[in-house]
Amino acid sequence: MISRFFIIPVIIAIGLSVTVLFMNFEEIAETKLAGVDADKDKISDRIDNCPKIKNEDQDDFDQDAVGDPCDLDDDNDGIVDVLDVFDDNPEEWSDFDFDGIGSKEDPDDDNDGVIDSMDEAPVPVSEELVATYLENIQECAIRDDGTSRLLCYSQFFGRVAEDQENNSNALELSIALSKIGLIDDCHFVSHEVGHVAFNENPSVIENLVGMDGTMCRGGYFHGVLAAYFHDVQEDGDPFPSDYDTVCNDLIGTSNYQDCVHGLGHGMVHYFEEDLESSLQMCHNMSFYQNRLCVKGVMMQYTDNVLTRQGISKDIMSELCKESKLDDIDFVECSMSAGTTLAFFTNHDYEEGSKSCNLIENKQGRDHCLEGLKLEIQDSEKYEVEPLTLDKREKFQPQFVEEDSKVIDIQSPAVISNFQFVPEAGLISFVIDRPQYVVMYIPNEFLSSKMIVTVNGQIPDELYTKGNMLGERVSMIRFVPDDSGLVMITPLS
């Protein structure tokens, strides 16, 4: 190879003579590089094994000349570090029962109390699926952009749902990857599992009955309902007149709330950019059904807009216009924007808040930040201690006046023997255990003063509020000391 040179004239202070020095370009570049330290870790880039990320101690566990912070696979075992629970041990990488013992050394891989040698199914389904789809999972895991990574996982989980006979398997895998930290939250990707489930079996209830709505905080349910309405729209059919009864087979279970919330997601798929029509369908339902439905509408709407149009000051400021929404829907839209941003930023509050702060309207900005914070908190609570079915709140609406009016009741306790006697202004029912009860009652069913008793005693914890959120609905919340008969009667 012919070296390239250039000539630098240098005046030597001896008489008037001129000396010409010849320098090689490579020598000059090397001289300049010696002084460059891009990551400011006091190690010159020329010798830094991780020049873009600080690595002052030059840690390199596998001695491959790539520093650990820059090395996707620190122990060179073929598993990228974000998936490898033991990234400094080439003999172990997985721990799908999360007991701190690698799968190779663990005598009871699924922590069911039966040692693997005697267990008919010793390996958790999530571990089996990771082994099956390892290449696809790692392909998504190493993507730098949060939105791109999320879309990659969504497509991947759709494929898993298609391959697996049991949709719960795909959800178990998403929960496991969420616990590892490979995906920030399984709620979003479980939407795709729900889409595929409905496409394979176009029945809402058949896909929801028997499923655990606590898995991924109801995302699967939202996906099923979204696919249902999408198909109605694709077929050119009118909006279903019985939409508000689609979830009725789940009344009395915690899954009913996830189903009604999913209606909102589905409405946006049907009405597309016509947000007003989606909201009107929600507003035609009972007070609490409406709030659940609107939350679903706003989550799907904000996700659609930000996914398609990106995030900018103009987009964020126009997303939830106060002039186009009533007060409550404006709050819900702004908070849902924060919820969506949490998924887009790997549930990173600092990153998400940058986008919220682009909103010009101060109230909208504050609500966005609140929604972002609450979503991150809910996600963290779910990862630490998911709500089991017995702890989850059950939505148990009671239909009165020939089903034209609804008294909404929420409680982890089971409500039975409900009675409403309009002539006496009496409401009564039985609760099976001492758990909180929240009721939303149309004001027309209440007199100016009511008394609440459980087994004839007024609960110590009792709270009432009239005209909830500007609507003619009153809330009664109480915590009984025991199970038994609840009576709400006019105070004579």
211-253: pLDDT as tens digits = 887 778 788 998 999 899 999 999 999 999 999 999 999 988 8
Is residue 189's pLDDT more than 60?
yes
57 inside domain: yes
- Domain containing residue 438: CATH number: 2.60.40
Is residue 16's pLDDT more than 60?
no
254 inside domain: yes
Pair 351, 264 in one domain: yes
Tokens linked to 465? 């509020």
pLDDT of amino acid 10: 45
Query: Which DSSP category does 3 fall into?
Result: P
pLDDT of amino acid 347: 86
Report yes or no on whether pTM surpasses 0.75.
no
State mean pLDDT over 51-80. Answer: 70
Pair 415, 474 in one domain: yes
Is residue 305's pLDDT more than 60?
yes
pLDDT of amino acid 217: 75
How many domains would you assign to the chain?
3
Is residue 267's pLDDT more than 50?
yes
Is residue 15's pLDDT more than 60?
no
Is residue 114's pLDDT more than 70?
yes
Pair 326, 455 in one domain: no
Is residue 340's pLDDT more than 80?
yes
Identify the residue with better confidence: 8 or 81: 81
Tokens linked to 450? 């009511």
Q: Is 475 within 8 Å of 437 (Cβ atoms)?
A: no
Lowest mean pLDDT among 180-194, 267-281, 340-354: 180-194
Lowest mean pLDDT among 28-42, 88-102, 231-245, 288-302: 28-42
What pLDDT band is residue 6 in, cutting at 50, 70 and 90? very low
Percent of the chain exceeding pLDDT 90 equals: 46
State mean pLDDT over 83-94. Answer: 84
Pair 264, 325 in one domain: yes
CA atoms within 13 A on the CB side of 455: 12
Pair 409, 380 in one domain: no
What pLDDT band is residue 35 in, cutting at 50, 70 and 90? low
pLDDT of amino acid 270: 94
Identify the residue with better confidence: 476 or 184: 476
Lowest mean pLDDT among 94-108, 142-156, 245-259, 297-311: 142-156
175 inside domain: no
What pLDDT band is residue 60 in, cutting at 50, 70 and 90? low
Distance from C-alpha of 34 to C-alpha of 36, rounded to nearest angstrom: 6
96 inside domain: no
What pLDDT band is residue 321 in, cutting at 50, 70 and 90? very high
Identity at 164, one-letter amino acid code: Q
Structural domain including 281 reads 184-384
Which of 322, 353, 384 is a domain's end point?
384
State mean pLDDT over 396-404. Answer: 79
23 inside domain: yes
pLDDT of amino acid 52: 66
pLDDT of amino acid 47: 66
Distance from C-alpha of 227 to C-alpha of 197, rounded to nearest angstrom: 9
Distance from C-alpha of 107 to C-alpha of 79, rounded to nearest angstrom: 22
Pair 212, 322 in one domain: yes
Is residue 22's pLDDT more than 90?
no
Identify the residue with better confidence: 358 or 423: 358
123 inside domain: no
Identify the residue with better confidence: 181 or 51: 181
Nearest to 129 by CA among 99, 101, 94, 77: 94
Pair 358, 246 in one domain: yes
Q: Is 186 within 8 Å of 174 (Cβ atoms)?
A: yes
Q: Is 187 within 8 Å of 265 (Cβ atoms)?
A: no
Pair 197, 266 in one domain: yes
First-to-final CA distance of the chain: 106
pLDDT of amino acid 18: 47
Which of 384, 408, 436 is a domain's end point?
384
What pLDDT band is residue 388 in, cutting at 50, 70 and 90? low
357 inside domain: yes
Pair 327, 444 in one domain: no
pLDDT of amino acid 95: 86
Identity at 307, one-letter amino acid code: T
- Give me the sign of the Cα torsion angle 343, 349, 352, 357: positive
Is residue 68's pLDDT more than 80?
no
228 inside domain: yes
Pair 374, 400 in one domain: no
Q: Considering just the CA atoms, what is the radius of gyration of the chain in Å?
A: 30
Main-chain phi, psi angles of 142, to 5 degrees: -90, 5
* pLDDT, tens only, 432-487: 999 999 999 998 888 878 899 999 999 989 999 888 777 789 999 999 999 999 99
Averaged confidence pLDDT in the chain? 84
State mean pLDDT over 48-68. Answer: 67
pLDDT of amino acid 20: 47
Pair 379, 400 in one domain: no
pLDDT of amino acid 382: 56
pLDDT of amino acid 434: 93
Is residue 7's pLDDT more than 70?
no
pLDDT of amino acid 55: 64
Q: Which of left, alpha, beta for 478 (phi over 0: left; psi -120 to 50: alpha)?
A: beta
Pair 308, 253 in one domain: yes
SS3 label, residue 53: coil
pLDDT of amino acid 476: 94
